[in-house]
Structure 1
């Protein structure tokens, strides 16, 4: 029988053998752990800072009750945990000398962990990103749709695709370099992309979808350059990729929105994406 408590490893296969079923049983709240585990499985650890991931599972009464994961240089990710469970994780990581730069996950869990981390280490937390995890109910495409059509991005679209991804990264204040050399190492590289293009063939909006895992597809990113906003292109391309994901067999579709942006939240609500959870990232600074 597995001992109760937190168990850490750098071995992805070991981690998935122990925690994979737990993650797949509730894929929506476990979206980030599932996504990064699938990405690591496909790519290996090399593209992410050249280091090894930190992967952890919480065992309770012989079963997995929670998971943490951290890639080199990135924030610690958490599945939903109780306050007591976050405190035990913070104490365990602090005792081992781990120093995550931040933590991300559902708001209640990360807020509890941030407070526990400050108690155990003195590192003061600061809210960095506030998101909403939205889950598709019934897809309601825009009617009427804007003029144009959805088109899958291909090899010839790579420069345009990188340009749109750079624009998205700048909008969300993501510190990443996106060019031909760095593209394979970014989180943008292993998605399926669709453009919305006007009748003359000009791409005016973009949506990406992560490879489905455990029947769950995540729409990410969605981007419209500022010059083309206000015409319904983002709604149209999001509806198109959502429909394609469902047609391909996804049983759940989710996306994240900026909790502070009423325009995007209203847009995705109209499309049928309901709020599933508030999501918060904290960064840590030493006193």
Structure 2
């Protein structure tokens, strides 16, 4: 049997030709890679920043065993790996002089890569966030529902949607793309919904990713601080979840920050059930094995 080898490319089509079936084989576990590659396919290589995305596959005898991608300045995203596989990925990227601002993936994989990267490069890594992936089971609409209704955002809502996107990204401390471009992209496929009061004032929003491999992921969910605690987030999340399922999604997913008990409890009341735990690690500024500076990073 031939050994496994990592292959790197900046060509999305080549990556999907190699890894597409593999990513679709576990759509829930691979939801981030599926949505990111779809965004790049729709909007081009500048969808997440000025630097081109990079992709990679671990293959043996022509069969893909694992994959990674990075859209700078966001962290590296990796599929499930053994400890040995995580070390081989660290060796592969360090040998290329690749800058790794952070890493995200299933909990054990992210931890194994973070350790391997630190051992191989001398960089300092730190746990940024523990996440939980949830899947919608039986939808339970929160009652009593707040006054108002859900409404899909349209072109006239672009300024409001962009403003809330910026506020959300600042609140969670993540890098963000141009807010106007993000809002335009979501509006183009009906991927953002407001909860509005009876007088038509938006008070919360929930987004969804396009359906790929049967899965849709709810993200982001945002209510301005002064409007929280009135049931708006639960109402709009339930509505986009219902709409995604009615539109044919086999799986409706979302991530939570495990440090936020309020959101975890809310989504479970709506009907979301845990699938698996994920983690994101930051890499502190330092020197890589190839002598390149390694910038800090954050989770998407």
* TM-score of the two chains, using structure 1 as the length reference: 0.93
Does residue 1:242 correspond to 2:241, yes or no?
Answer: yes
Q: CA deviation at 1:2?
A: 8.7
Does residue 1:72 correspond to 2:72, yes or no?
Answer: yes
> Quick one: structure 1 residues 3 and 83, their matched pair in 2 at CA, closer, same or farther if it must change by over 3 Å?
closer
Give the aligned partner of residue 116 of structure 1.
Answer: 116
Q: Take 1:47 and 1:145, find their aligned partners in 2: how far apart are those partners?
A: 36
Q: CA deviation at 1:176?
A: 3.3
Asked if 2 retains the 8 angstrom alpha-carbon contact of 1:2 and 1:59, the reply is no
> Quick one: structure 1 residues 57 and 281, their matched pair in 2 at CA, closer, same or farther if it must change by over 3 Å?
same
SS of residue paired to 2:166: helix
Give the aligned partner of residue 267 of structure 1.
Answer: 266
Q: Take 1:174 and 1:14, find their aligned partners in 2: how far apart are those partners?
A: 29
> Quick one: structure 1 residues 151 and 2, their matched pair in 2 at CA, closer, same or farther if it must change by over 3 Å?
farther
SS of residue paired to 2:185: coil
Q: CA RMSD in A?
A: 1.8
Asked if 2 retains the 8 angstrom alpha-carbon contact of 1:82 and 1:109, the reply is yes
Q: CA deviation at 1:170?
A: 1.8
Give the aligned partner of residue 40 of structure 2.
Answer: 40
Q: Take 1:73 and 1:200, find their aligned partners in 2: how far apart are those partners?
A: 40
Q: CA deviation at 1:62?
A: 3.5
Give the aligned partner of residue 253 of structure 1.
Answer: 252
What count of residue pairs does the alignment treat as equivalent?
Answer: 282
For residues 134-172 of structure 1, the C-alpha deviation after alignment (integer angstroms, 9 at most, x for no partner) is: 111111111221111111111111121122212211221
Which region of structure 1 is more displaced relative to structure 2, 199-208 or 261-270? 199-208
Asked if 2 retains the 8 angstrom alpha-carbon contact of 1:239 and 1:271, the reply is yes
Q: Take 1:165 and 1:48, find their aligned partners in 2: how far apart are those partners?
A: 14
Q: CA deviation at 1:241?
A: 0.5
> Quick one: structure 1 residues 72 and 2, their matched pair in 2 at CA, closer, same or farther if it must change by over 3 Å?
farther
SS of residue paired to 1:72: coil
Q: Take 1:96 and 1:223, find their aligned partners in 2: how far apart are those partners?
A: 39
Q: Take 2:214 and 2:155, find their aligned partners in 1: how far apart are those partners?
A: 27
Q: Mind listing any 5+ residue stretches in structure 2 that lack a counterpart?
A: 288-300
Q: Take 1:261 and 1:280, find their aligned partners in 2: how far apart are those partners?
A: 14
Does residue 1:129 correspond to 2:133, yes or no?
Answer: no
Asked if 2 retains the 8 angstrom alpha-carbon contact of 1:87 and 1:117, the reply is yes
Q: CA deviation at 1:201?
A: 1.4
> Quick one: structure 1 residues 40 and 176, their matched pair in 2 at CA, closer, same or farther if it must change by over 3 Å?
closer
Alignment of 1:31-180 (within 5 A): 31-176=31-176, 178-179=178-179
Give the aligned partner of residue 198 of structure 1.
Answer: 197
> Quick one: structure 1 residues 13 and 178, their matched pair in 2 at CA, closer, same or farther if it must change by over 3 Å?
closer
* TM-score of the two chains, using structure 2 as the length reference: 0.89
Q: Take 1:279 and 1:256, find their aligned partners in 2: how far apart are those partners?
A: 9
SS of residue paired to 1:190: helix
For residues 98-153 of structure 1, the C-alpha deviation after alignment (integer angstroms, 9 at most, x for no partner) is: 12111111111100000000111111111122221111111111122111111111
